[in-house]
Amino acid sequence: HAIEASTRVMVMQKRFVLAQTKVEEENHTEISSLRQAALQNDAQLLDAMLCQEIYKKVINCRGGWGCLRVLLAHGALVDSLDVKAQTPLFTAARGKYLDCVIALLRAGANPNGSHRNLSSPVLTAAREGDADVLRILLEYGAEVNDRSKVVILSSMAKVSSGPLYLAAVYGHRDCFRLLLLYGADPDYNCVDTAVLSLIKQPKTVLEMCLRHGCAVEYIQLLIEFGANVYLPTLIIEKSTKQNEAVELLLRERGTPKALTSQCRLSLRRYLRKIDKINCIDQLDMPTSLLCFLQHKPPPVPAL
Protein backbone atom coordinates (compact mmCIF):
# COMPACT_ATOMS: atom_id res chain seq x y z
CA HIS A 1 0.00 0.00 0.00
CA ALA A 2 2.86 2.37 0.83
CA ILE A 3 4.42 1.80 -2.61
CA GLU A 4 1.08 2.38 -4.35
CA ALA A 5 0.54 5.60 -2.41
CA SER A 6 4.04 6.80 -3.23
CA THR A 7 3.48 6.03 -6.92
CA ARG A 8 0.22 7.99 -6.97
CA VAL A 9 1.98 10.98 -5.43
CA MET A 10 4.74 10.80 -8.06
CA VAL A 11 2.17 10.65 -10.88
CA MET A 12 0.28 13.66 -9.52
CA GLN A 13 3.52 15.60 -9.14
CA LYS A 14 4.51 14.70 -12.72
CA ARG A 15 1.17 15.95 -14.08
CA PHE A 16 1.58 19.15 -12.07
CA VAL A 17 5.08 19.72 -13.47
CA LEU A 18 3.92 19.15 -17.07
CA ALA A 19 1.08 21.64 -16.67
CA GLN A 20 3.39 24.26 -15.19
CA THR A 21 6.02 23.68 -17.88
CA LYS A 22 3.51 24.30 -20.67
CA VAL A 23 2.45 27.62 -19.16
CA GLU A 24 6.07 28.64 -18.68
CA GLU A 25 6.98 27.81 -22.26
CA GLU A 26 4.09 29.86 -23.65
CA ASN A 27 4.75 32.89 -21.44
CA HIS A 28 8.51 32.86 -21.00
CA THR A 29 8.98 36.62 -21.65
CA GLU A 30 6.28 37.72 -19.21
CA ILE A 31 7.55 35.36 -16.50
CA SER A 32 11.12 36.63 -16.91
CA SER A 33 9.99 40.26 -16.66
CA LEU A 34 7.90 39.50 -13.58
CA ARG A 35 10.77 37.67 -11.89
CA GLN A 36 13.17 40.51 -12.69
CA ALA A 37 10.88 43.05 -11.05
CA ALA A 38 10.58 40.81 -8.01
CA LEU A 39 14.33 40.22 -7.78
CA GLN A 40 14.94 43.98 -7.92
CA ASN A 41 12.45 44.38 -5.07
CA ASP A 42 10.66 47.01 -7.17
CA ALA A 43 7.21 46.89 -5.59
CA GLN A 44 5.88 49.82 -7.63
CA LEU A 45 6.83 48.23 -10.97
CA LEU A 46 5.57 44.85 -9.86
CA ASP A 47 2.24 46.33 -8.82
CA ALA A 48 1.85 48.06 -12.19
CA MET A 49 2.71 44.86 -14.09
CA LEU A 50 0.24 42.75 -12.13
CA CYS A 51 -2.57 45.12 -13.00
CA GLN A 52 -2.22 43.79 -16.55
CA GLU A 53 -3.97 40.54 -17.47
CA ILE A 54 -0.94 39.18 -19.32
CA TYR A 55 1.10 39.14 -16.10
CA LYS A 56 -1.75 38.08 -13.83
CA LYS A 57 -2.05 34.72 -15.56
CA VAL A 58 1.59 33.81 -14.80
CA ILE A 59 1.62 35.03 -11.20
CA ASN A 60 1.73 31.48 -9.80
CA CYS A 61 4.52 30.14 -12.00
CA ARG A 62 7.63 29.04 -10.14
CA GLY A 63 9.89 31.95 -9.39
CA GLY A 64 11.68 34.06 -6.79
CA TRP A 65 10.58 35.42 -3.39
CA GLY A 66 10.67 39.18 -4.03
CA CYS A 67 7.80 41.49 -3.14
CA LEU A 68 5.78 38.76 -1.48
CA ARG A 69 3.04 41.02 -0.16
CA VAL A 70 2.45 42.54 -3.60
CA LEU A 71 2.14 39.08 -5.15
CA LEU A 72 -0.33 37.99 -2.48
CA ALA A 73 -2.32 41.20 -2.84
CA HIS A 74 -2.75 40.47 -6.55
CA GLY A 75 -4.14 37.00 -5.91
CA ALA A 76 -1.09 34.73 -5.95
CA LEU A 77 -1.97 31.28 -4.57
CA VAL A 78 -0.63 31.20 -1.02
CA ASP A 79 -0.28 27.41 -1.04
CA SER A 80 0.99 26.89 -4.60
CA LEU A 81 3.28 23.87 -5.06
CA ASP A 82 6.65 23.49 -6.71
CA VAL A 83 7.95 20.32 -8.36
CA LYS A 84 8.63 18.76 -4.94
CA ALA A 85 5.17 19.62 -3.62
CA GLN A 86 6.73 22.27 -1.39
CA THR A 87 4.60 25.29 -0.53
CA PRO A 88 5.99 28.84 -0.26
CA LEU A 89 5.62 28.51 3.52
CA PHE A 90 7.77 25.37 3.56
CA THR A 91 10.47 27.13 1.53
CA ALA A 92 10.33 30.20 3.77
CA ALA A 93 10.61 28.05 6.92
CA ARG A 94 13.53 26.08 5.48
CA GLY A 95 15.31 29.32 4.54
CA LYS A 96 14.59 30.88 7.97
CA TYR A 97 12.76 33.85 6.39
CA LEU A 98 10.65 34.81 9.40
CA ASP A 99 9.00 37.83 7.76
CA CYS A 100 7.90 35.71 4.80
CA VAL A 101 6.61 32.99 7.13
CA ILE A 102 4.50 35.53 9.02
CA ALA A 103 3.19 37.14 5.83
CA LEU A 104 2.19 33.79 4.34
CA LEU A 105 0.48 32.60 7.53
CA ARG A 106 -1.45 35.86 7.80
CA ALA A 107 -2.53 35.37 4.19
CA GLY A 108 -4.01 31.99 5.09
CA ALA A 109 -1.19 29.55 4.29
CA ASN A 110 -1.63 26.04 5.66
CA PRO A 111 0.84 25.89 8.60
CA ASN A 112 1.34 22.17 7.90
CA GLY A 113 2.32 22.67 4.27
CA SER A 114 1.11 20.23 1.62
CA HIS A 115 0.05 16.65 2.36
CA ARG A 116 1.88 15.69 -0.85
CA ASN A 117 5.22 16.80 0.57
CA LEU A 118 7.20 14.18 2.49
CA SER A 119 8.19 16.78 5.09
CA SER A 120 6.54 19.85 6.65
CA PRO A 121 7.39 23.39 7.82
CA VAL A 122 7.45 22.25 11.47
CA LEU A 123 9.82 19.37 10.75
CA THR A 124 12.23 21.57 8.84
CA ALA A 125 12.12 24.35 11.47
CA ALA A 126 12.84 21.81 14.24
CA ARG A 127 15.71 20.31 12.25
CA GLU A 128 17.21 23.73 11.40
CA GLY A 129 16.80 24.97 14.97
CA ASP A 130 14.88 28.13 14.14
CA ALA A 131 12.85 28.72 17.30
CA ASP A 132 11.26 31.95 16.01
CA VAL A 133 9.90 30.29 12.87
CA LEU A 134 8.83 27.23 14.86
CA ARG A 135 6.97 29.35 17.41
CA ILE A 136 4.94 31.26 14.83
CA LEU A 137 4.07 28.03 13.01
CA LEU A 138 2.79 26.50 16.25
CA GLU A 139 0.88 29.66 17.15
CA TYR A 140 -0.95 29.35 13.83
CA GLY A 141 -1.94 25.77 14.59
CA ALA A 142 0.79 23.65 12.97
CA GLU A 143 0.72 20.01 14.09
CA VAL A 144 3.25 19.69 16.91
CA ASN A 145 3.37 15.89 16.58
CA ASP A 146 3.89 15.91 12.83
CA ARG A 147 6.16 13.31 11.26
CA SER A 148 7.72 12.56 7.92
CA LYS A 149 5.35 10.90 5.46
CA VAL A 150 8.00 8.26 4.85
CA VAL A 151 7.35 5.53 7.41
CA ILE A 152 9.45 2.39 6.99
CA LEU A 153 7.68 -0.40 8.82
CA SER A 154 10.53 -2.61 9.89
CA SER A 155 12.16 -3.79 13.09
CA MET A 156 14.39 -0.70 12.94
CA ALA A 157 11.53 1.79 12.50
CA LYS A 158 11.59 4.74 14.90
CA VAL A 159 8.23 6.46 15.37
CA SER A 160 9.94 9.08 17.52
CA SER A 161 11.37 10.68 14.37
CA GLY A 162 9.01 13.66 14.64
CA PRO A 163 10.01 17.29 15.31
CA LEU A 164 10.79 16.60 18.99
CA TYR A 165 13.27 13.90 18.05
CA LEU A 166 14.85 16.07 15.33
CA ALA A 167 15.31 18.99 17.71
CA ALA A 168 17.05 16.67 20.20
CA VAL A 169 19.47 14.91 17.85
CA TYR A 170 20.44 18.19 16.15
CA GLY A 171 21.01 19.84 19.53
CA HIS A 172 18.32 22.53 19.40
CA ARG A 173 17.24 22.74 23.03
CA ASP A 174 15.12 25.89 22.60
CA CYS A 175 13.09 24.19 19.87
CA PHE A 176 12.86 21.01 21.95
CA ARG A 177 11.38 22.90 24.91
CA LEU A 178 9.11 24.94 22.66
CA LEU A 179 7.61 21.80 21.13
CA LEU A 180 6.92 20.38 24.57
CA LEU A 181 5.29 23.65 25.65
CA TYR A 182 2.94 23.42 22.67
CA GLY A 183 1.88 19.90 23.54
CA ALA A 184 4.32 17.56 21.81
CA ASP A 185 3.91 13.97 23.03
CA PRO A 186 7.00 13.40 25.25
CA ASP A 187 6.83 9.62 24.76
CA TYR A 188 6.62 8.87 21.03
CA ASN A 189 6.05 12.28 19.41
CA CYS A 190 3.36 10.38 17.52
CA VAL A 191 -0.34 10.30 18.34
CA ASP A 192 -1.30 7.91 15.55
CA THR A 193 -2.25 4.68 17.34
CA ALA A 194 -2.49 2.86 14.02
CA VAL A 195 1.19 3.58 13.30
CA LEU A 196 2.24 2.58 16.81
CA SER A 197 0.37 -0.70 16.59
CA LEU A 198 2.14 -1.64 13.34
CA ILE A 199 5.65 -1.19 14.72
CA LYS A 200 7.30 -3.80 16.91
CA GLN A 201 8.74 -2.19 20.03
CA PRO A 202 8.40 1.46 18.93
CA LYS A 203 11.19 3.70 20.19
CA THR A 204 10.34 6.51 22.63
CA VAL A 205 11.88 9.97 22.45
CA LEU A 206 13.53 9.29 25.83
CA GLU A 207 15.11 6.10 24.53
CA MET A 208 16.40 7.83 21.40
CA CYS A 209 17.85 10.70 23.45
CA LEU A 210 19.76 8.19 25.57
CA ARG A 211 20.98 6.27 22.53
CA HIS A 212 22.24 9.44 20.86
CA GLY A 213 23.90 10.69 24.03
CA CYS A 214 21.83 13.86 24.22
CA ALA A 215 22.63 16.26 27.06
CA VAL A 216 21.00 15.65 30.43
CA GLU A 217 18.85 18.78 29.94
CA TYR A 218 16.82 16.94 27.29
CA ILE A 219 16.11 14.06 29.68
CA GLN A 220 15.15 16.55 32.41
CA LEU A 221 12.71 18.34 30.08
CA LEU A 222 11.08 15.07 29.02
CA ILE A 223 10.60 14.09 32.65
CA GLU A 224 9.29 17.56 33.54
CA PHE A 225 6.73 17.38 30.72
CA GLY A 226 5.46 13.96 31.73
CA ALA A 227 7.45 11.37 29.78
CA ASN A 228 6.82 7.83 31.01
CA VAL A 229 10.19 6.91 32.54
CA TYR A 230 9.26 3.21 32.63
CA LEU A 231 8.69 2.88 28.87
CA PRO A 232 12.29 2.43 27.64
CA THR A 233 12.90 -1.32 27.50
CA LEU A 234 16.55 -1.22 26.42
CA ILE A 235 19.29 -2.35 28.74
CA ILE A 236 20.90 0.94 29.68
CA GLU A 237 24.64 0.82 29.20
CA LYS A 238 26.40 3.45 31.24
CA SER A 239 28.99 5.38 29.32
CA THR A 240 30.92 8.53 30.14
CA LYS A 241 28.60 10.52 27.90
CA GLN A 242 25.41 9.13 29.42
CA ASN A 243 26.20 8.68 33.12
CA GLU A 244 24.43 11.81 34.35
CA ALA A 245 21.35 11.26 32.14
CA VAL A 246 21.06 7.60 33.16
CA GLU A 247 21.42 8.45 36.83
CA LEU A 248 18.68 11.08 36.49
CA LEU A 249 16.37 8.56 34.81
CA LEU A 250 16.98 5.88 37.45
CA ARG A 251 16.49 8.40 40.24
CA GLU A 252 13.20 9.52 38.71
CA ARG A 253 11.99 5.91 38.50
CA GLY A 254 12.29 5.62 42.25
CA THR A 255 10.76 8.99 43.16
CA PRO A 256 7.00 9.73 42.94
CA LYS A 257 6.07 12.97 41.22
CA ALA A 258 4.89 15.85 43.40
CA LEU A 259 1.14 16.38 43.43
CA THR A 260 1.58 19.88 41.97
CA SER A 261 3.48 18.45 39.00
CA GLN A 262 0.82 15.79 38.42
CA CYS A 263 -1.92 18.46 38.48
CA ARG A 264 -0.01 20.56 35.95
CA LEU A 265 0.48 17.58 33.65
CA SER A 266 -3.21 16.60 33.87
CA LEU A 267 -4.41 20.10 33.07
CA ARG A 268 -1.98 20.53 30.18
CA ARG A 269 -3.00 17.15 28.73
CA TYR A 270 -6.65 18.17 28.85
CA LEU A 271 -5.94 21.53 27.19
CA ARG A 272 -4.00 19.73 24.47
CA LYS A 273 -6.87 17.27 24.01
CA ILE A 274 -9.37 20.10 23.40
CA ASP A 275 -6.84 21.99 21.25
CA LYS A 276 -6.53 24.86 23.74
CA ILE A 277 -2.91 24.49 24.84
CA ASN A 278 -2.21 27.99 23.46
CA CYS A 279 -4.93 29.54 25.63
CA ILE A 280 -3.35 29.15 29.08
CA ASP A 281 -2.92 32.94 29.37
CA GLN A 282 -6.69 33.31 29.11
CA LEU A 283 -7.44 31.13 32.15
CA ASP A 284 -8.96 32.95 35.11
CA MET A 285 -6.32 32.26 37.75
CA PRO A 286 -3.44 34.06 39.48
CA THR A 287 -0.38 34.98 37.41
CA SER A 288 1.84 32.74 39.51
CA LEU A 289 -0.31 29.71 38.59
CA LEU A 290 -0.36 30.68 34.91
CA CYS A 291 3.44 30.85 34.97
CA PHE A 292 3.58 27.44 36.66
CA LEU A 293 1.33 25.90 33.98
CA GLN A 294 3.61 27.32 31.28
CA HIS A 295 6.80 26.12 33.02
CA LYS A 296 7.88 29.74 33.60
CA PRO A 297 9.54 31.11 36.73
CA PRO A 298 7.14 32.97 39.05
CA PRO A 299 6.93 36.74 38.62
CA VAL A 300 9.23 38.81 40.81
CA PRO A 301 7.18 40.88 43.27
CA ALA A 302 7.53 44.62 42.92
CA LEU A 303 9.42 46.34 45.75
pLDDT in tens, 194-217: 777 777 777 888 888 888 888 899
Running DSSP on this structure, what letter comes out for residue 62?
A: S
Q: Nearest Cα to 205, choosing from 241, 249, 262?
A: 249
pLDDT in tens, 8-24: 433 344 443 334 445 55
As a whole number of angstroms, the distance between CA 205 and CA 189 comes to 7
pTM over cut 0.85: no
**Mean pLDDT value across residues 66-71:** 66
Per domain, the residue ranges of the chain are 1-76, 259-303
Segment 102-106 long-range contacts (CB within 8 Å, at least 24 positions apart):
102/136, 103/68, 103/69, 103/72, 104/68, 104/72, 104/78, 105/136, 105/137, 105/140
pLDDT, position 18: 38
Running DSSP on this structure, what letter comes out for residue 266?
A: H
pLDDT, position 40: 66
